[in-house]
Amino acid sequence: MGCAPSIHVSQSGVIYCRDSDESNSPRQTTSVSQGPAAPLHGLFVQTDAADVIPRSRASGPPGAARVRRARTELGSGGSSGSSSAGSAAPATTTCRGRRRHCCSSAEAETQTSYTSVKQVSSAEVRIGPMRLTQDPIQVLLIFAKEDSQSDGFWWACDRAGYRCNIARTPESALECFLDKHHEIIVIDHRQTRNFDAEAVCRSIRATNPSEHTVILAVVSQASGDHEEASVLPLLHAGFNRRFMENSSIIACYNELIQIEHGEVRSQFKLRACNSVFTALDHCHEAIEITSDDHVIQIHKIHRDSGDNSQTESHSFRYKNRRKESIDVKSISSRGSDAPSLQNRRYPSMARIHSMTIEAPITKVINIINAAQENSPVTVAEALDRVLEILRTTELYSPQLGTKDEDPHTSDLVGGLMTDGLRRLSGNEYVFTKNVHQSHSHLAMPITINDVPPCIAQLLDNEESWEFNIFELEAVTHKRPLVYLGLKVFSRFGVCEFLHCSETTLRAWLQVIEANYHSSNAYHNSTHAADVLHATAFFLGKERVKGSLDQLDEVAALIAATVHDVDHPGRTNSFLCNAGSELAVLYNDTAVLESHHTALAFQLTVKDSKCNIFKNIDRNHYRTLRQAIIDMVLATEMTKHFEHVNKFVNSINKPLAAEMEGSDCECNPTGKNFPENQILIKRMMIKCADVANPCRPLDLCIEWAGRISEEYFAQTDEEKRQGLPVVMPVFDRNTCSIPKSQISFIDYFITDMFDAWDAFAHLPALMQHLADNYKHWKTLDDLKCKSLRLPSDS
């Protein structure tokens, strides 16, 4: 070879290395393919046999009139009128000294046209710094019979310097395409009596080589009294373009040239890039390809594991701060001592990139990045905004307006959904009572048969949503959890499931209730009993019952019982700001919820007299424990909108789609999938935890007063200790409780209970919610800060 070789890519995606001082004859090419061969310049090289132009067998010429018409049109560049379709052409016909070669069988015929070697020209295409040589285009004409239209495309290919084949049957067309991998296919779609053009197109599209092929449908001219047909059926069949019947050679020529410089050229560039990637894939170096501003576009690492080699290619954006970075660089050494470094070719950067783990959100971002490349400017800008949102950490939390617009909502959300300002003031918060009380100091537990008649009478109504928990609190002297727990756990067969005695269960309930703070206005054992009652009520709904198994039910009842044990009557934000021991222990993250679950299990397992888990096997215990922990952690408000949105997207929407047009009460598809069961249990305990606005009005008012008093006490203490005031609107001298309830319902309750009602069907609750909201709105309109209307006092 004389000068440096140039590189070009064939229509099948193979890189060719050609001597620049040699002829362009295909006989003098050396191919770089993916097959086994010796490496050359980091690529793989094998010498293929030249693409020999087959000799055609001489035969009689076509009709003289048709040849004269074609020659006249080619010479003048004008268009000619259509000629009548002749009979099927002979096996081989001659066109201006070229012959149509017949590769025929008894049932199929394929004709081939080759331009002379002088007329065949290869095009040079540039892709960035690469110069690629494109072979002459190959065209396949699929016409059952020779006519003026097939002749038009034939001579157009001849004029453009394309290699052309003609197939007469679908079978021969598919066989020829699989052999040649044509860039352009023209299919006669004008009549269906010979073959189904759309079926032929679909059969070609079903093959792998057709990925880079443009298929053109030749259709009949629409008559004047008929509306032009839609192209959608053609596109659905796999066609790329439609060509209205026109036998003019120049019209056919223009169509082919436009396809070459449009779709074919684009597909060629794609194949060239794939070929480069294939070469990189076989390279034994760690490679980075960067843009001009040193942003890594492609990172490729080759790792050897014993005798097996593995290649990884990662596409991502990484800012390389080294100013001397070049466009393409190899990380490993290329010095004279490179062989001695063969076993140490993986520096730190290579190892780090090889450890990259692609998370689902990363895949989403990569898909959007890819979609941006070929999108209009407006779409690309919109996708940029989407990427900005996806890269934030709060994907599910709505963005509030300014505090001046709605101070009640801002303060309420800020207090419940954040961990405060997290300032450690040195004033550590000390609990007001001695926690972790031992059950040994308690009175002997009662039996279910020893329940006083007044309590038993109240518990007869515990399955109703109208059940009054405050009446139970009064008659049990603030110990409603033990009595309600015994009744509910008995109804759901918890002792039988856990293989524990009723005595053990009673002892456990007493220990748990003793560790609730009766001094708290809201977060006490009455609240725990209320959440247990709501959870049991939800578990009785048909669709919920059909979605969960008994282990889920037992886990939900236990989680409801312990979900606020040892609550200090202060929010997570307060504990973080005060630098409490719990905040330090749990790293300011889900402080109280983590403490509730940890303490509950500590109290349970430390004494076998109250260990309700002591008789179940290890696997059941681990599954049950995980479910309890997951549900209690779900009550933490910072992830409120995440839980609600996941429930809507995974449960509500599939259910709505399944139930559309059906009156059946069947459960949603996939309801018993573990991931869906988890979402249902989370949503259930969340709704049970904040169901106060859905209770009867008297109960709703009482709960509103209690939670407000607890927040007032926190604000008072924050002011005394000089801590940041998390919820300034909860100042007992200025707060409007009706307004705070309206904000809470608008922001947290309405959407969540709409979603839960759509699944569990809770008409009574939703009616109470509407009535209570109306009550609070009326009070707010009257600028009344009390909890009841003046007429009710």
Alpha helices in 606-652 (DSSP H): 618-634, 640-647
Residue whose structure tokens are 């800012």? 319
Tell me which residue of 750, 718, 713, 719 sits closest to 735, measured CA to CA: 713
Tokens read off for 406: 């709605």
Contacts of 634 (CB under 8 A, 6+ apart): 643, 681, 682, 685, 686
698 labelled ligand-binding: no
292 labelled ligand-binding: no
Strands (E), 398-469: none
Contact between 671 and 779 under an 8 Å Cβ cutoff? The reply is no
Contact between 776 and 738 under an 8 Å Cβ cutoff? The reply is yes
Task: Tell me which of 8, 299, 439, 523 is the catalytic residue.
Answer: 523
564 labelled ligand-binding: yes
Distance (Å, whole) CA 230 – CA 41: 51
- Provide the β-strand partners of residue 16: 8, 31
Distance (Å, whole) CA 304 – CA 311: 9
Distance (Å, whole) CA 750 – CA 754: 6
258 labelled ligand-binding: no
Coil vs helix vs strand at 165: strand
Distance (Å, whole) CA 144 – CA 157: 18
524 labelled ligand-binding: yes
Tell me whether residue 523 is one of the annotated catalytic residues: yes
Distance (Å, whole) CA 531 – CA 560: 6
Tell me which residue of 445, 477, 739 sits closest to 610, measured CA to CA: 445
What's the DSSP call for residue 30?
E
Coil vs helix vs strand at 549: coil
Distance (Å, whole) CA 99 – CA 407: 87
Pairing of β 214-219 and β 241-244: parallel
- Provide the β-strand partners of residue 99: 94
Distance (Å, whole) CA 504 – CA 528: 20
741 labelled ligand-binding: yes
- Provide the β-strand partners of residue 319: 295
Contacts of 592 (CB under 8 A, 6+ apart): 564, 567, 568, 571, 572, 575, 582, 636
436 labelled ligand-binding: no
> Can you say which residues are annotated as belonging to the binding site for Zn(2+)?
527, 563-564, 689
- Active site residues per annotation: 523
> Can you say which residues are annotated as belonging to the binding site for AMP?
523-527, 564, 689, 741
> Can you say which residues are annotated as belonging to the binding site?
523-527, 563-564, 689, 741
